[in-house]
Structure 1
Amino acid sequence: MEAIPDQKHYNLTHYQQRFNWDCGISCIIMILSTAQRETLLHDFNKICAEEGFGSSTWTIDLCYLLQRFQVRHEYYTKTLGIDPSYSEHSYYTNIIDKDEKRVTRKFKDARLHGLRVEQRTVEMEELLQHLGRRGPVILLTNASLLTCEVCKKNVLEKFGYAGHYVVLCGYDLKSQMVYYHNPEVHDEHVCRCTTDAMDSARKAYGTDEDVILIFRN
């Protein structure tokens, strides 16, 4: 692979999620331009209703929202649709009953809407390559496994699986650290952890190893 800079950082405007379900949308708000962000926040309820997800977002929902705001991106996942085994998982049981038809339809129609969705896993080296050359990355993680070395913020009170989106915004190759914005955090500092720690959180069962690569113009 091509060499990338030893360090990289994207200056994103931090945004704290307002509810217990909008971490993914909050990550998108951090990526949007100022004008787009204002539009999304002003018309928040209307846009959520039009997108059909109410108060429960899957990664495919986030892709349609990015497309709505004409943000170039690519989505990689282990599972095209919903993993049938999740119906046995307490975190997903009620969500799947409510969301299955919408999520299945959105995956099926993705190409028609110009979305690039590919079934494969993405390794950390590829994420660093993307960060180094193209733009930020939205990741689905198990928040119970995610701890910031700056603020020591984690979500250990949520035992087991707790699906949570964060935005990778940079890295330092020498220290093997990645930098990220966690929408749960109220202040504007950037969180950080080792690449190995981030891999553990993003590859945990329940995440489908969902990755959205954002391409900056």
Structure 2
Amino acid sequence: MEAIPDQKHYNLTHYQQRFNWDCGISCIIMILSTSQREVLLHDFDKICAEEGFGSSTWTIDLCFLLKRFQVRHEYYTKTLGIDPSYSEHSYYTKIINKDEKRVTRKFQEARLHGVRVEQRTIEMEELLQHLGKRGPVILLTNASLLTCEICKKNVLEKFGYAGHYIVLCGYDLKSQLIFYHNPEVQDEHVCRCTAAAMDISRKAYGTDEDVILIYRN
């Protein structure tokens, strides 16, 4: 592994999600340039309709949206498509019936559209390598297990599985802290937790350990 700086931080403009389903799009809004952000917000409903996801997004939807705005990225996941066992999970039951055809088609057509998807998991050391050298990271987490040392009292209490996207924006190797933007949080402070705590949330059942590595030009 290459040596990385002891500390790294990307200055992202925080954006709070407006609905209970748009955390993933909100993470993308934080990644985009100012002009791209304005386009997405101005044409929000139109773009959501064109992308076909309505009011529920899967990670593959986010990748197609990043591709639309020409943001270089790579997507890593344990499952290419939808894990059949999720159909028995209360969180996924309704959305799988609605989304399965679209999600399956997008996975099948990803390469055709220049969207890079690879079936494998990413360990924390690799995430730190990417953060240190290349750019931010969008992660799917279980919000019920996501802890922030700063705002834990402000974040809504949840139980069971609650899929939620966040953006990793930096780290401090000496303190073993990971810094991230949580679109659920109202104010613009950067959240933080230990690398070990982040791993618990992002590796939970239901996340498929979905990771989108963003490459800054």
TM-score class normalised by the smaller sequence: over 0.9
The answer to whether the 8 Å contact 2:155/2:184 transfers is no
Paired position in structure 2 for 1:180: 180
What are the Cα deviations for residues 38-95 of structure 1, in whole angstroms up to 9, with x where unaligned? 0000000000000000000000000000000000000000000000000000000000
Q: Output the CA distance in 2 between the equivalents of 1:37 and 1:152.
A: 28
Q: Give the match for residue 190 of structure 1.
A: 190
Matches within 5 A, 1:133-212: 133-153=133-153, 157-212=157-212
Letter paired with 2:108: K
Match of 1:117 in 2: 117
CA deviation vs aligned residue, 1:156-199 (integer Å, no higher than 9, x gap): 63210000000000000000000000000000000000000000
Q: In the alignment, residue 33 of structure 2 is paired with which amino acid?
A: S
Residue type of the alignment partner of 2:169? C
Is the Cα contact below 8 Å between 1:144 and 1:156 reproduced in 2? no
Q: TM-score, normalised by structure 2?
A: 0.99
- Kept in 2, the 8 Å contact 1:137–1:213? The answer is yes
Contact kept, 8 Å, 1:167 with 1:180, in 2: the verdict is: yes
> TM-score by structure 1 length?
0.99
Judge conservation of contact 2:155–2:185 (CA < 8 Å) in 1.
no
CA contact (8 A) 1:72 1:214 kept: yes
Q: Is the 8 A contact 2:91 2:161 kept in 1?
A: yes
Contact 2:73 2:215 in 1 (8 A): yes
- Residue 80 of structure 1 pairs with residue 80 of structure 2: yes
Q: Distance in 1 between matches of 2:208 and 2:176?
A: 24
Q: Which residue of 2 aligns with 1:10?
A: 10
Q: State the identity %.
A: 89
* Mapped partners of 2:157, 2:171: distance in 1: 28
> CA 1:43/1:112 → structure 2, altered by over 3 Å: closer, same or farther?
same
The aligned counterpart of 2:98 is: 98
SS at match of 2:216: coil
| Alignment correspondent of 2:30 | 30
Counterpart amino acid of 1:101?
K
* Residue in structure 2 matched with residue 213 of structure 1 by the alignment: 213
Report the 3-state secondary structure (helix = DSSP H, G, I; strand = E; otherwise coil) of the residue aligned with 2:180. Answer: strand
Quote how far apart the aligned CAs of 1:151 are: 1.4
Which secondary structure state, in structure 2, belongs to the residue aligned with residue 213 of structure 1? strand
Q: 2-side partners of 1:155 and 1:37: how far apart?
A: 25
Question: Contact 1:147/1:154 (CA < 8 Å) preserved in 2?
Answer: no
Q: SS in structure 2 opposite 1:169?
A: strand
Contact persistence 2:167–2:180 (CA under 8 A): yes
- The count of corresponding residues between Structure 1 and Structure 2 is 217
Q: Which runs of 4+ in 1 moved over 6 A?
A: none
Q: CA deviation at 1:152?
A: 1.6
